[in-house]
Every structure is written in C-alpha cells, then in structure tokens.
Amino acid sequence: MDDSSERKTMILKEDLCIVRQTEIAPRIFELVLKGEMVQDMQAGQFLHLKVPDPSKLLRRPISISEIDKEHKEATLVYRVERAGTEILSKLREGQTIDTMGPQGNGFDLSVVGSGQTVLLIGGGIGVPPLVETAKQLHEKGVKVVSVIGFANKDAVILEEKLSKYGPVVVTTDDGSYGRKGYVSEVIEEMDWVPDAIYSCGAPGMLAYVDQRFADHPHAYLSLESRMACGMGACYACVVPLKGKGQDQNRRVCEDGPVFATGSVQL
C-alpha cells in the first residue's frame, strides 16, 4: 500500500497481562490484554503470541479486534484450532503472554472521510479486525455498512459490536441465523458503490472481493498465511504479486497483512 511506511509502527516485545478471557461462542475466545504496546496499535494489525509451552517454537499470529488506548487494553478474538490455541485458551486473568507487535500494515482508513460510506466484508474468524476498523471509521463520521458471513448460528460472533457503528447484514451458509447464503449474494444485490471496502475472511471470500472490486481504488483484503519469524526476515509467509514472475512476491507479515485488491495472487 502506498503510504504503508508512514503508518508502520515499531515492533515491540512485551509480556502483556491478561485482563480477562471469555468463551463467546463454541471454541471461540475473547482475550483482553493490557500493556504499553497498546499505545502503538492500529486497526488491522496483528499480535504474535508465544504459546507458553517449550515444544511450541513458533508464535501464533492473531488480529487485533479492539484497541482501548485510554486503558491500555487490546481485545483479540480467536478460534481454538489445534494445540497452540488450545493452550492459549486455558490462560487466565493475571497471567501474562509474551507478545511481539503490533505487526504488519493495518487498514488504511485515511482514504475516506466524513459523509462517505464504506463496506466492511467479513467471514467467520476474519470478522474480529473489522470491529476496530468500524469504530474508528464511525468516529470520523464515515457511514459503515457491514456484511458478515458464518457457517451457522453457533459460529456468529461480533454482530452486536459491529451494530454499534452501522447496519449489519449477517448470512449463514445453512440459514440457521440471518439470511441463508453467502456474503457475495448480498453484495451482488447492492445498488450503491462504497467509497472504500475493507475485508477479512476465508480465501474463497477474499477471492470474490478481489475480483468484484478489482478496479476499485480503495478496496482492501486482509490475508492470512503461515508465519515463522513474523517480522519480515524469513520469507515463510510470501504471496506472489499478480501478473509478475515467481520471484516477485510480498511478505504477508511485513508488507501485509492488508493488500489492495488486484495486487496479489490469492
């Protein structure tokens, strides 16, 4: 992204203190952390958490969902997948987590202003970074419309939080909550063009957004990829640039995780 160097912050290492940890849906946890690092966080960045187990050498990247600079608190929302996130989910209030961050380039919110309208598109466990994004856009007078999709009713998260900042349409694949179907079906019916689009979710959903808004000047995708160092040194996380040779790529941890539509191969 053009002005990424301006928005990038220094990566810090700190033991963040757990304020609380709550299971908000089956196997999905909300983790509130406190520390000085919060002062440097931006919407769309992520934290790299060390799992407190000597056999887990690699840190786990988790997006920042909410930032409360006044109380130096950041909220993460993550799903327990395998052993690392399972161990994280057992940590309790008062314990600390060895954390590196804030990492990556977040969403560029400077491209829209008061009175303009943005579309947030989220899928499943990709919805968390959209909450802080919605909050900050709302604070600057931008109208926020969210379309978020989940597998089923049990997996629906963060609808209430996003609703504080504007209308939210929820879809579920099986129709057990909200509208049955995919977020793409809702977006195809829209008769207006958003001034900016911010999205995070499963690869299939991001591929749709990438193609649907390929020519939009302010449409962004937040990507996931397997990471090792998480700070630009090892190239474990690269994605190829669209239309370039195999040697032309970008690191998701350092150059992303947010990329403009039409820029990388999904």
Ligand X SMILES: Cc1cc2nc3c(=O)[nH]c(=O)nc-3n(C[C@H](O)[C@H](O)[C@H](O)COP(=O)(O)OP(=O)(O)OC[C@H]3O[C@@H](n4cnc5c(N)ncnc54)[C@H](O)[C@@H]3O)c2cc1C
Contact footprint for ligand FES (CB under 6 A): 227-230, 232-237, 251, 253-254
Binder of residue 123, out of ligand FES, ligand X, none (CB less than 5 to 8 A by kind): none
Min. distance of Cβ 179 from ligand FES in angstroms? 37
Indicate the residue among 181 and 240 with the shorter CB distance to ligand X. Answer: 240
DSSP state of 263: S
Indicate the residue among 59 and 161 with the shorter CB distance to ligand FES. Answer: 59
Nearest to 148 by CA among 186, 109, 111, 116: 186
Which residues in the 43-62 window bind ligand X by CB under 6 A? 46, 58, 60-62
Which residue of this chain has its Cβ atom nearest to ligand X in the complex? 84
Binder of residue 100, out of ligand FES, ligand X, none (CB less than 5 to 8 A by kind): none
Min. distance of Cβ 252 from ligand FES in angstroms? 6
3-state SS assignment for residue 149: strand
Rounded to an integer, what distance in angstroms lies between the CA atom of residue 209 and that of residue 199? Answer: 8
Distance of CA 133 to the CA centre of its chain: 9
Binder of residue 128, out of ligand FES, ligand X, none (CB less than 5 to 8 A by kind): ligand X
- By CB under 6 A, tell whether 99 contacts ligand X: no
Rounded to an integer, what distance in angstroms lies between the CA atom of residue 209 and that of residue 165? Answer: 22
Which residues contact ligand X by CB under 6 A? 46, 58, 60-63, 77-79, 81-85, 125, 128, 224-227, 257
